[in-house]
């Protein structure tokens, strides 16, 4: 009896750049009508894969196909840089507050030291 439990989410397929390049070149080499469709069925791919890979192929062949999709990873020092900027701004605010306090204390001291 088959297991009735359905997996939560199927594993996402990942294709290497070399595989994508091979698929695009084989699909481009097809000359007979229906040959590309049969090729995609044999490989278990959707036509949208081929459309996307062909577009990337035209933009820069293997280097474009090897580029991961989505948002690029931030530079490793970017987080530290941002943290230091925030800390610097905080310290500048504290310095401005301390300078105002010192200025006010000086004025109070000046007022109290004057003879009447």
CB 21 within 8 A of CB 57: yes
Residue 45, Cβ density class (10 Å: 0-12 exposed, 13-18 middle, ≥19 buried): middle
pLDDT digits (tens, 9 = 90+) for 43-63: 999 999 999 888 888 877 666
The ranges assigned to domains in the chain are: 17-66, 75-116
For 14-27, the pLDDT digits (tens) are 888 889 888 998 99
Q: Is the pLDDT at 8 greater than 80, yes or no?
A: no
Percentage of the chain exceeding pLDDT 90: 46
Give the single-character DSSP code of 32: S
More confident residue, 10 or 51: 51
Residue 65 has pLDDT above 80, yes or no: no
pLDDT at position 61 is: 63
pTM of the entire predicted model? 0.47
d(CA 87, CA 79): 12
Looking at the predicted structure, is the pLDDT value of residue 93 above 70?
A: yes
Q: Tell which residue, 69, 67, 20, 62, has the closest CA to residue 45.
A: 20
Looking at residue 3, what is its pLDDT?
73
């Amino acid at each position: 009896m088959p297991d009735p439990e359905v997996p939560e989410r199927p594993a996402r397929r990942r294709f290497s750049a070399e595989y994508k390049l091979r698929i695009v070149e084989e699909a481009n080499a097809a000359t007979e009508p229906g040959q590309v469709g049969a090729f995609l069925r044999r490989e278990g791919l959707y036509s949208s894969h081929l459309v996307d890979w062909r577009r990337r192929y035209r933009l820069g062949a293997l280097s474009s196909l090897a580029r991961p999709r989505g948002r690029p990873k931030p530079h490793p020092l970017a987080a530290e840089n941002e943290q230091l900027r925030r800390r610097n701004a905080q310290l500048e605010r504290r310095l401005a507050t301390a300078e105002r306090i010192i200025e006010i204390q000086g004025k109070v001291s000046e007022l109290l030291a004057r003879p009447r």
